[in-house]
Structure 1
Amino acid sequence: MQVRLILIAVMSSAVIAAAAPVHAQDKGSVEPKALPPLAHPDDPSTPAKELFARRLLPSAQPTKVIGTYNRGCIAGADRMPINGEAWQVMRLSRNRNFGHPGMIALLKRLAARAHKDAGWPGILVGDIGQPRGGPALSGHASHQIGLDADIWLTPMPEHRLSRNEREEMSAVMMVRQDRLDVDPRVFTKGHVAVIRAAAQEPSVQRIFVNAAIKKALCRDAKGDRSWLTKVRPWWGHDYHFHIRMVCPPGNPDCHGQTDQAGGDGCSADDLGYWFSDAVLHPPPPKEPPTPPQPVTLAQLPPACRVVLHAPDAKN
């Protein structure tokens, strides 16, 4: 029980993985329309998400991570190429395939291991972050500093996906309809191998999955189980898993999380909460929740203003 309470306290902190659900299944557009210019971009009340979403390229600055996973930005981000020998990037219309160079390198390594260890053709990469990080218009509370990335739990097809497929294709649901376990028709040993490979990366601090997937990993993991400590349940990860990296060395303005403690998270106390009736079938709220106020530029670290207004890096 103590481990579960520690987990809840950590997850409820200001650096939670995804306070808003991640809309990995939302379809994109083959011909996305450019956002219109803001009438008053210098208005202090303008949401920061409106400003950062209009920066289409990284800043021409040395790479620097600023702030926290859910309130920050990144200077000098790298772009994940949309195609590789063992990966393809999805939902190109979102323009969220940018991150810290360490994250881009990690994803390429993971793609190679998915091909080698799991026998997958490769991985499908979901959202990493915007060109300059910062709050996004939709889908995430985190992914703001280039150290978060979503990987679809659908293996990459053997063919090169068309632009339309990348925008319209849906990921495969991995969780059984009753939410108590994974669907054995689609969740395989390959999924265990890919998540294990990600968790064994020294720079990875957390991996977020649906509780049913965590349950399956606990059941199916063989040999060294130490990597399971990094894998933690969180809402909204039925179709993909979320990788989070530690703050890279030499980035004093990056404020990450402490390392996960409390064992492998596989005890009955750890998992019981997630399969309780209150979590699986929560009662509707008595009153509609009040939408949170959008974060403004002034509420981000001051250095993010500099990142936002820096010249564009060369495309």
Structure 2
Amino acid sequence: MMRVFAAVLTCAMFSGSAIAANPWEKFDEPTSGPASSIGSYANGCLVGGEALPLEGDGYQVIRTSRERYYAHPLMIDYLVELAKENKRLGNGDLLIGDMSMPRGGRFTSGHSSHQTGLDADIWLRIGDKQYSRKARENLSPYNVVDMQNYKIKAQKWTNEHAQMVQLAATDKRVARIFVHPVIKETLCKADWPEGRDWLRKVRPWFGHNYHMHVRLHCPKGDESCTPQAAPPAGDGCGKELYSWWPKPKSEQEKKKEQEQLLLAKSTTKKPAKPVYKDQLKLKPLRCQDLVTGTLQ
């Protein structure tokens, strides 16, 4: 009966116009006990997570005030090992962005994934020096894609970027790496003497023009974790990739865009504050227990 009441209470917390605050942001530390990624990447939570130390051998965590540097221990180990190997190859520090919150769950703004401690963003900006924590709060993104002409910025994209993606993807723990379609195309066109199998994991996705998003497989033996279907067979460098290219716009569509742009410029309304958007998704029961305090 108490479990039913808790579920009803959680539904009330996640529904209705009264909800604007994100309950997952109230936690400032992980739970204790064995680590478990509960639910799916875009609808779940994290038990027994760990914080990635904010500086390490070959990496620096950025924007630490957001407190999104927690993850499943599997991800912590992966990032530490990746950074060391990347450094051994003579490359600069990895700049680690969003991972997960202390107990996972949905961010108020930004990604809908990163909920189970198995996702991490690695910026394409190379850490060429040791930044202070204050400086790391305000680092500018490093966009390597010419969005207007839909091609790579040759003056920004380097072999170090390509090597970084390859190194990240060849690890067996990795399920997917999301990059902008133009970055995927650039990798597809490169010569890879040691094999191209890892390109299957590199998936095109909009918005990833200044960072790559690494996603790990569900931890072995964790039955609470919902895996994602495997990527399609092949290296993903053909027709599937080019389906992401923008289609030519008609004159009517261009005119409509111009009208909308002029209307936006003439509007003086303040932008709306971000609202927590997970109200309609019912979390797994163990995640509901985290929010209600039943599970500590």
Q: What does 1:106-125 align with in structure 2 at a 5 Å threshold?
A: 106-117=78-89, 119-125=90-96
In structure 1, what is the Cα distance between the partners aligned to 2:146 and 2:37?
Answer: 38
Find the counterpart in structure 1 of residue 22 from structure 2.
50
TM-fit CA distance, 1:302? 0.7
TM-fit CA distance, 1:166? 1.0
Task: Tell me which amino acid in the other structure corresponds to 1:250.
Answer: G
Aligned partner (choices 82, 103, 115) of residue 75 of structure 2 = 103
In structure 1, what is the Cα distance between the partners aligned to 2:147 and 2:107?
Answer: 30
Q: Which runs of 4+ in 1 moved over 3 A?
A: 40-43, 45-49, 282-287
Aligned partner (choices 191, 200, 207) of residue 177 of structure 2 = 207
Structure 1 position 81 matched with structure 2 position 53: yes
Q: What does 1:1-315 align with in structure 2 at a 5 Å threshold?
A: 44=13, 45=15, 47=19, 50-117=22-89, 119-159=90-130, 161-223=131-193, 224-267=195-238, 269-277=239-247, 294-296=277-279, 299-308=282-291, 309=293
In structure 1, what is the Cα distance between the partners aligned to 2:236 and 2:92?
Answer: 30
Report the 3-state secondary structure (helix = DSSP H, G, I; strand = E; otherwise coil) of the residue aligned with 2:198.
helix
TM-fit CA distance, 1:292? 9.6
Larger gyration radius, structure 1 or structure 2: 2
Cα-to-partner distance string for 1:217-248 (whole Å, 9 max, x where unaligned): 00114120000000011010010000011111
Task: Tell me which amino acid in the other structure corresponds to 2:96.
Answer: V
RMSD of aligned Cα (Å) = 2.9
Change (3 A) 1:179 1:169: same
In structure 2, what is the Cα distance between the partners aligned to 1:182 and 1:298?
Answer: 37
Task: Tell me which amino acid in the other structure corresponds to 2:98.
Answer: D
In structure 2, what is the Cα distance between the partners aligned to 1:186 and 1:225?
Answer: 23
TM-fit CA distance, 1:110? 1.2
TM-fit CA distance, 1:163? 2.4
Alpha-carbon contact 2:43-2:281 (below 8 Å) kept: no
Cα-to-partner distance string for 1:179-234 (whole Å, 9 max, x where unaligned): 42211111111111110011101010110000110011001141200000000110
Change (3 A) 1:190 1:253: same
TM-fit CA distance, 1:41? 9.5
Find the counterpart in structure 2 of residue 9 from structure 1.
none
Alpha-carbon contact 1:49-1:295 (below 8 Å) kept: no
TM-fit CA distance, 1:162? 1.6
Find the counterpart in structure 1 of residue 5 from structure 2.
none
Alpha-carbon contact 2:113-2:119 (below 8 Å) kept: yes
TM-fit CA distance, 1:120? 1.7
Name structure 1 gaps, 5 residues minimum.
Answer: 1-39
Q: Percent identity?
A: 36
In structure 2, what is the Cα distance between the partners aligned to 1:297 and 1:131?
Answer: 22
Task: Tell me which amino acid in the other structure corresponds to 2:83.
Answer: A
Cα-to-partner distance string for 1:44-102 (whole Å, 9 max, x where unaligned): 33659611011011012321111000000010101110001210000011100000101
In structure 1, what is the Cα distance between the partners aligned to 2:141 and 2:191?
Answer: 24
Corresponding residue pairs, total: 267
Task: Tell me which amino acid in the other structure corresponds to 1:305.
Answer: Q
In structure 1, what is the Cα distance between the partners aligned to 2:234 and 2:65?
Answer: 40
Q: TM-score, normalised by structure 2?
A: 0.82
